[in-house]
């Protein structure tokens, strides 16, 4: 790996054999790995380890993965950490819950290590491309700075988790253009991640709660647009 430092991965699962096999494959690929076997320990380790990626099981003792993810996303230093859920559960509501609390990806068990490594690499590639396209957008009292992932409204900083920020930025850089849910899913979450269309609606609602309803307009039956009017 050609990075100045090793990229860090926190593996969180209550099954030791899964931890062992993922740790082996990640370290072999050049990642620095830390582990936790429950959600409470995962939060504690994350704030000291500052991982680039967290692989997070859903069903765990003491605290499940969904609540753990919610807590991790409230930590400013971890706002841009990739969180990938690993789970044996295939119910739609589990997947919706995972993305609602800020997951970047959702992979069903049994885990195929090579496929998982490819998904992680794809997340880093997309992030690098976005960083190369960094720019600053200002509309009325709203400043959206892609280079620093910050939103400032009327002089005050607005905290947006990573996916909410990317959704706002994507819409704002093409004002008055209507994007359907599928197009937003493709551009924000990527083609290699399966996400339900409802996830877009949830993220739009959360962005509106933070910056108001004046910027993102719903075009009934079509999708959303960033409105300059």
User: How does residue 136 score in pLDDT terms, banded at 50, 70 and 90?
Assistant: confident
User: How does residue 68 score in pLDDT terms, banded at 50, 70 and 90?
Assistant: very high
Topology (CATH) of 133-226: Arc Repressor Mutant, subunit A (1.10.10)
Per CATH, 8-130 and 133-226 having the same topology is answered: no
Domain boundaries, the chain: 8-130, 133-226
Q: Percent of the chain scored above 70 by pLDDT?
A: 91
Which residues are 129's β-sheet partners? none
**Could you identify the residue written with the tokens 């930590």?**
75
Q: Which residues contact 110 (CB under 8 A, 6 or more apart)?
A: none
Q: Which CATH code is given to the segment(s) 8-130?
A: 3.40.50.2300
User: How does residue 177 score in pLDDT terms, banded at 50, 70 and 90?
Assistant: very high
User: What is the structure's pLDDT at 2?
Assistant: 42
Q: What are 73-121's pLDDT values in tens digits?
A: 888 888 779 999 998 876 666 777 888 888 888 888 889 999 999 989 8
Evaluate if residue 219 carries a pLDDT over 90.
yes
- Residue of 72, 65, 73, 70 lying closest to 109 (CA atoms): 65
């Amino acid at each position: 790996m050609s990075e100045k430092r090793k990229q860090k991965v926190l593996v969180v699962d209550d099954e030791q054999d899964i931890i062992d096999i993922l740790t082996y494959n990640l370290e072999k690929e050049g990642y620095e790995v830390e582990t936790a076997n429950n959600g409470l320990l995962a939060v504690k380790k994350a704030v000291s380890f500052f991982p680039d990626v967290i692989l997070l099981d859903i069903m765990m003792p003491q605290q499940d993965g969904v609540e753990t993810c919610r807590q991790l996303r409230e930590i400013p230093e971890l706002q841009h950490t990739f969180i990938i859920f690993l789970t044996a559960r295939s119910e739609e509501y589990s997947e919706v819950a995972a993305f609602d609390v800020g997951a970047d990806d959702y992979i069903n068990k049994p885990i195929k290590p090579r496929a998982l490594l490819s998904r992680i690499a794809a997340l880093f590639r997309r992030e690098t491309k976005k960083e190369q396209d960094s720019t600053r957008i200002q509309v009325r009292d709203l400043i959206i700075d892609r280079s620093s992932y910050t939103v400032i409204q009327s002089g005050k900083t607005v905290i947006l988790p990573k996916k909410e920020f990317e959704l706002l930025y994507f819409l704002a850089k093409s004002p008055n253009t209507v994007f359907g849910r599928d197009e937003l899913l493709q551009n924000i979450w990527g083609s290699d991640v399966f996400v339900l269309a409802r996830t877009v609606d949830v993220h739009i609602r959360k962005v509106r709660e933070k910056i108001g309803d004046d910027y993102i307009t719903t075009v009934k039956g079509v999708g959303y647009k960033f409105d300059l009017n």
